[in-house]
Amino acid sequence: MKSLRDVDLAAACVLLRCELNVAMKDHHVTDYTRIEASRPTFDVLRENGCRIVICSHMGRPWGERDPAKSLRQLIEPIKTVLDTDVQFVDDCIGTERDEAVLALKEGEVLLLENVRYHAEENSNDRDFGKALVRGVDLYVNDAFGNCHRPHASMVAAALAAPERCAGLLLEREIAELSLLNDPEFRPTLAIIGGAKVSGKDGKLFVVKNLLRTVDRVAVVGKLAYYFLLAQGVGVGATLTADTRGIDAPGASLGDDLAACRDVIAEAEGLGKPLLLPRDSVVSVNDADTLVDFASAAVPAEGRALDIGPGTVEELSDAIDASNLVVWNGPAGYFEKPAYQEGTFGIAKTLTSFSGHAVVGGGDTVAAIASVLDGGSDAVHICTGGGAMLTWLMGEPLPGIAALETVLSGTV
């Protein structure tokens, strides 16, 4: 895959695919992280006099022109954060867009309307991909968070452009996740939590794959209680009570438990037993109690909503014994302050340990933002949730694969 250093940038006309699917409230951006994250690549392009055409999706309008999902709302935030003038066209393809691209002068910036206003984005339509890069010399992918989706602005557009490369953000994300395969960073520890258990981005499969690549896997969050139940530990109503309804629709508990038993057997076969919660904060009839699994189980009506202090301590020791920690998924129902100690405990240990950490997951990052304060050299905050999970499952990411494709002749 080429990087910005391998391509001719001088005054090039560039389609810059960013991940600007920012959080909004009442038409105002509430979190600027994703715009900020685009800055390093943007600055390099601007220093080289590139004509920059920014393209992104926002939300899930799936072919409808939903004004609430218009990138027009990002004109002012981009102007402020990237310190630039911004032109805008209200369609990402077509005559008006083509003319605006042609008219761009060196260093000028054009923002295109939401690519998901066209259903062809979702179907990775080849002609739509071509139209997205019409008049462009170079396609730059800096949208790591969308690389797991085989969409036209990620794949078809990359393949149709005369030249393609990774932006600095994408390059950094790949480098961080690749540390998992770097012998210098062993021993490695993965901490997987949260509530997406089965389904296509099910963390069960993440745990399964990581067993092969890391030295130790710890399982926390709601996910952990599936493993405990599969081992015969009573978890009461933990799995039946639905906090947010984000478990995969149609997932069967029986299938999930069978999958857990397979993963447990595989872990033992590999000599890497899973690290599971030894204690938990359990809510029983709206009162919280601490349950130690060595001597007790979760009562029938109880819900285990966070890992307990014994587990936090065991995890801290495991973190300190590692050179690399990869963490995805909160340790508890952190939206309620009573159940955030486990998640915060992990985050606090990461801020003081001497190794390197890569942390990702939409909810995980939101939960620990205050503790990790935007990340550091020692703790990298990954900009992609689903993309990170796809990587950790060991599956190819179509957006990255498109950049790696060596094209012969014209497409």
Which residues of the chain form contacts with ligand ADP (CB under 6 A)? 194-196, 221-222, 243-244, 246, 304-305, 328-330, 332-335, 361-364, 385
CB of 393 to ligand ADP, least distance (A): 13
Instruction: Mark residues 358-377: x for contact with Mg ion by CB under 5 A, - for none.
Output: ----xx--------------
- Is 194 or 399 the residue whose CB approaches ligand ADP more closely? 194
Measured from the CB of residue 137, what is the shortest distance to Mg ion in angstroms? Answer: 37
d(CA 141, CA 170) in angstroms, rounded, equals 7
Cα–Cα distance, 224 to 329 (Å, whole number)? 11
What does the block give as tokens for 283? 């809510």
Report the residue number, 141 or 198, with the smaller CB distance to ligand ADP.
Answer: 198
Let me know: does 357 contact 350? Beta carbons within 8 Å: yes
Q: Are strands 24-25 and 28-29 parallel, antiparallel or unpaired?
A: antiparallel
Evaluate the omega torsion of the peptide bond into residue 187 and state whether it is cis, within 30 degrees of 0: yes
* Minimum CB distance to ligand ADP smaller for 7 or for 246: 246
Q: Which does 244 bind (CB under 5 to 8 A by kind): ligand ADP, Mg ion, none?
A: ligand ADP
At 6, which amino acid appears? D
**Of residues 106, 105, 87, the one with CA closest to residue 97:** 87
What the block records as the tokens of 29 is 């951006």
CB closest to Mg ion, residue no:
363
Compute the least distance from the CB of residue 116 to ligand ADP, in Å: 21
CB of 119 to Mg ion, least distance (A): 26
H/E element holding 281? strand 279-284
Min separation Cβ 261 and ligand ADP, Å = 20
User: How far from 223 is each of 78, 343, 404, CA to CA, in Å?
Assistant: 38, 14, 34
Instruction: State the nearest-atom distance from the C-beta of 290 to Mg ion, in Å.
Output: 26
Concatenated DSSP letters of 125-169: -HHHHHHHTTT-SEEEE--GGGTTS--TTTTHHHHHSSSEEE-HH
> Could you say which of Mg ion, ligand ADP, none residue 216 binds, taking C-beta under 5 to 8 angstroms by partner kind?
none
- Output 108 or 363, the one with its CB closest to Mg ion: 363
- Between 165 and 206, whose beta carbon lies closer to ligand ADP? 206
CB of 243 to ligand ADP, least distance (A): 4
Q: How near is the Cβ of 166 to ligand ADP at its closest, in Å?
A: 24
Q: Which stretch binds Mg ion (CB under 5 A): 50-58, 223-231, 311-319, 356-364?
A: 356-364
Taking the least distance from each CB to ligand ADP, the nearer of 310 and 362 is 362
- Would the CA dihedral through 288, 292, 296, 300 be positive or negative? positive
Helix, strand, or coil here: 229?
A: helix
- Among 346, 158, 307, 116, which residue's Cα sits nearest to residue 227? 307
Instruction: Rank residues 333 and 391 by Cβ distance to ligand ADP and give the closer one.
Output: 333
Q: Which does 335 bind (CB under 5 to 8 A by kind): Mg ion, ligand ADP, none?
A: ligand ADP
Smaller CB distance to ligand ADP: residue 129 or 145? 145
Compute how many residues bind Mg ion; rule: CB under 5 A.
Answer: 2
Q: Considering CB distances under 5 to 8 angstroms, the limit depending on partner class, which of Mg ion, ligand ADP, none binds residue 330?
A: ligand ADP
Contact 199, 193 (CB under 8 A): no
* Nearer residue to ligand ADP within complex by CB, 104 or 223: 223
| CB neighbourhood size of 62 (10 A) | 13
Q: Could you tell which of ligand ADP, Mg ion, none binds residue 384, using a CB distance below 5 to 8 A set by kind?
A: none
Reduce the secondary structure of 164-207 to three states and give it as a string.
EEECHHHHHHHHHHHHHHCHHHCCEEEEECCCCCCCCCCHHHHH
- Give min distance, CB of 331 to ligand ADP, in A: 6
Residue numbers at the binding site for Mg ion (CB under 5 A): 362-363
